[in-house]
Amino acid sequence: MTSEPEIVDADHPFNKPSADLILRTSDNVDFHVHKSILSEASPVFETMLSLPQPRKPVGLARSPSTKFAEQIQELKNGRPVVKIPELKNGRPVVKIPETAASLAMLLQICYPYKDPDMSDLDDTMEVLVAAIKYEMDHPTTVLSQRLQAHATTSPLRVYAFAVHRRLEEEARFAARASLRFGLNTLISQDAPEMFDISGVDYQRLMRYVVRCQTELPLITKDLSWLPKGRPFEQESGTVGWETGREPPWYGCGACRGDFGVSAWWDPYLGWVRQRLAERPSGAVLLGMPALVDQASREMGLKCWECRTVSGLGSLRAFTKYLAMEVDRRTAEIAANTTFC
C-alpha cells in the first residue's frame, strides 16, 4: 500500500483565510489564492474557473484567440477533461504542473506584494514559460524584461531557450545581446539549452553576428549619416549638435592635414572600426573609456589645440552618438531576421 504524499500549505501571503481557491503544485504545496486576482491576471484561469479545463495545456502560442479556439475545440472533440477533484476547507483544489518555487514567483508578480527574486536565469525561464502558458500579460512582460537583462551575460542560453519555444522577440534580443561578445567568447559559453535547438537555429545566430561584424565597421568609412555641427552631451544624456561650429576633428587649424581632418582622427576611427569588427555593440563602445583615452593621448601627442575639455567632450559625444547608431542598425538587421 502506497502512502499519500504529504501536502503542505504555502507561506504568507498564500495562506490567507480570505482565499477562495487552492492551487496545488506538482510538489504538493497548496497555495490559497483569490479567484478574482487569478481571473484578472490570466484569461486561462478565468476560463478554467468557469469551464471544465482541457487535460493538457495547449502550446505556448501568444495569440489568446487561437489558444482559446483550440481549447474549445478540444472540449468539443470530447477529449478527457480534468474535473475539479476535491474541496479543502470548502475551497476547490486545482492541480497544476508547476513547482511551488515557480508558482510563488509567478503569483508574487500578480499580487501587490514584494517583487520576487529573479536573479536566477533557470527560474526566470521556467516561470516565463508558465506565464505565457497561462496568458498572464503583466508577468510575461516583467519576466521577459528580466530575461533581457540575463541575455547581456548569457546570450547563448537565452537565445536557445527562446528559439526552442518559438519566442521570436526574446530570440531577437538575445541575438542582439550576443554582439557584446566576440564570436570566440560566444561559442565557448556553456548553454545546456543548446541541446534543444537545431544546427539551423544556431546557424541563424552565427549569420546574424557575422553580418553585423561585417556591416557595422563600414559606418565609420562614410560619415554622411552624422548630423552637421559639433556634438555635445546634453544634460538629458542625449547628444546635441551645435550648428555653425565644426567638430574638433575638422576645425583645428593647428593639426589639420592635407585632407582637412585632424591628424589623430583617422587612427581613432581605425580603432573604432577594429572593435566593431569584433563586437558590434554600442555598449562595447561606451564601455571602453580607454578608446577615448587612447585618442586623447594621440591628440595630446599630436595637437594641444585639439586636446581641450571641449574637444574631448565632443569626442565623447561623438562616440555616444556612434554607439546609438550602431545599436539602431543592429536592431534593424535583427528586426529583418527570422530567428525562430
Determine, following the binding rule CB under 5 A, whether residue 306 of this chain makes contact with Zn ion: yes
Q: Number of residues interacting with Zn ion: please give it, by CB under 5 A.
A: 7
Taking Cα atoms as reference points, which of 113, 250, 121 lies closest to residue 191?
Answer: 121
Q: Segment near Zn ion (CB under 5 A), from 141-149, 192-200, 225-233, 298-306?
A: 298-306
Which set of grid coordinates corresponds to residue 332?
534593424
Shortest Å distance, C-beta 288 to Zn ion: 23
Determine, following the binding rule CB under 5 A, whether residue 252 of this chain makes contact with Zn ion: yes
Q: Segment near Zn ion (CB under 5 A), from 55-63, 120-128, 187-195, 300-308?
A: 300-308
The residue within the footprint of Zn ion, chosen from 255, 285, 322, 334 (CB under 5 A), is 255
Q: Where in 256-285 is the site for Zn ion (CB under 5 A)?
A: 262
The residue within the footprint of Zn ion, chosen from 303, 312, 322, 323 (CB under 5 A), is 303
Q: Which is nearer to Zn ion, 57 or 313 (CB)?
A: 313
Q: Which is nearer to Zn ion, 106 or 252 (CB)?
A: 252
Shortest Å distance, C-beta 274 to Zn ion: 23
The residue within the footprint of Zn ion, chosen from 51, 69, 254, 301 (CB under 5 A), is 254
Shortest Å distance, C-beta 309 to Zn ion: 14
Determine, following the binding rule CB under 5 A, whether residue 74 of this chain makes contact with Zn ion: no
Taking Cα atoms as reference points, which of 265, 284, 268 lies closest to residue 276?
Answer: 284
Q: Which is nearer to Zn ion, 74 or 246 (CB)?
A: 246
Binding mask 212-251 for Zn ion (x = CB under 5 A): ----------------------------------------
Determine, following the binding rule CB under 5 A, whether residue 305 of this chain makes contact with Zn ion: yes
The three state secondary structure string of the chain is CCCCCCCEECCCCCECCCCCEEEECCCCEEEEECHHHHHHHCHHHHHHHHCCEECCCCCCCCCHHHHHHHHHHHHHCCCCEECCCEEECCEEEEECCCCHHHHHHHHHHHCCCCCCCCCCHHHHHHHHHHHHHCCCHHHHHHHHHHHHHHHCCCHHHHHHHHHHCCCHHHHHHHHHHHCCCCHHHHHHCCCHHHHHCCHHHHHHHHHHHHHHHHHHHHHHCCCCCCCCCEEEECCCCCEEEECCCCCHHHHCCCCECCCCCECCHHHHHHHHHHHHHHCCCHHHHHCCHHHHHHHHHHHHHHCCCCCCHHHHHHHHHHHHHHHHHHHHHHHHHHHCCCCC
Q: Segment near Zn ion (CB under 5 A), from 81-89, 177-185, 266-274, 306-314?
A: 306-314
Determine, following the binding rule CB under 5 A, whether residue 315 of this chain makes contact with Zn ion: no
Determine, following the binding rule CB under 5 A, whether residue 23 of this chain makes contact with Zn ion: no
Q: Which is nearer to Zn ion, 112 or 253 (CB)?
A: 253
In the complex, the residues that contact Zn ion under the rule CB under 5 A are 252, 254-255, 262, 303, 305-306
